[in-house]
């Protein structure tokens, strides 16, 4: 089952070696992708040997973006993880922008916070509000609940989409934010059906 607690950090080093050497079969690669998805939320806290193994996988793939594209090719936890991180990246990119913070503050004054995001929010809206949602999504992944993380990621992306018209009034460069948010929400939602 996908939504099981994560007991600890683990990357199977023989799988990593075989992958880096190009000797890993499809089933082994799927298993490695699942292990990588399990440790991704802990990237800043990984023991050095696991961080080094993860870096070897990333280097073999060509970098950070390629790592997430690789995860996305594997259904279930890896795809859900990749798509959550796409939402997290968007939240982190725009979360501290003054027009976004203002639009979010006004949106929160008009309507209740989305239910899946409430555990991650405090009453005040600041430039830390959306980054705290990012952290909450990542923490939910780390708790071994990828479907819940996707639910929160979809809600967060939809929230961004709803605040975009006002943010774009304040800064026309944010005009495309709603489309970007809608796309990552749609892709994240689709990952749940794959798991």
At residue 120 the predicted structure's pLDDT band, cuts being 50, 70 and 90, is: very high
Is residue 5's pLDDT more than 70? no
Is residue 1's pLDDT more than 70? no
137-162 pLDDT, tens digit each:
999 999 999 999 999 999 999 999 99
- C-alpha to C-alpha distances, 16 to 112, 141, 151, nearest whole angstrom: 45, 22, 30
User: Model's pTM, two decimal places?
Assistant: 0.92
63-85 pLDDT, tens digit each:
999 999 999 999 999 999 999 99
pLDDT of residue 129: 97
Closest alpha carbon to 181 in 81, 116, 100, 79? 100
19-67 pLDDT, tens digit each:
999 999 999 999 999 999 999 999 888 889 999 999 999 999 999 999 9
pLDDT of residue 193: 74
Query: Nearest-5° angle of CA 94, CA 193, CA 71?
Result: 60
């Amino acid at each position: 089952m996908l939504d099981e607690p994560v007991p600890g950090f683990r990357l199977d080093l023989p799988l990593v070696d075989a992958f880096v050497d190009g000797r890993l079969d499809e089933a082994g690669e799927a298993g490695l992708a699942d292990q990588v998805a399990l440790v991704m939320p802990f990237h800043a806290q990984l023991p050095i040997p696991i961080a080094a193994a993860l870096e070897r996988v990333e280097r073999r793939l060509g970098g950070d973006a390629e790592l997430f594209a690789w995860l996305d090719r594997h259904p279930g936890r890896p795809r859900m993880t990749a798509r959550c991180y796409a939402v997290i990246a968007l939240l982190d990119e725009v979360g501290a922008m003054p027009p976004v913070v203002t639009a979010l503050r006004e949106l929160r004054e008009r309507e209740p916070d989305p239910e899946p995001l409430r555990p991650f929010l405090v009453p005040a809206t600041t430039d830390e509000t959306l980054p705290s949602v990012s952290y909450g999504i990542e923490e939910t992944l780390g708790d071994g609940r990828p479907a819940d993380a996707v639910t929160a990621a979809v809600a967060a992306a939809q929230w961004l989409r709803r605040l975009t018209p006002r943010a774009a009034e304040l800064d026309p460069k944010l005009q495309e934010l709603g489309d970007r948010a809608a796309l990552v929400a749609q892709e994240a939602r689709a990952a749940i059906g794959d798991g």
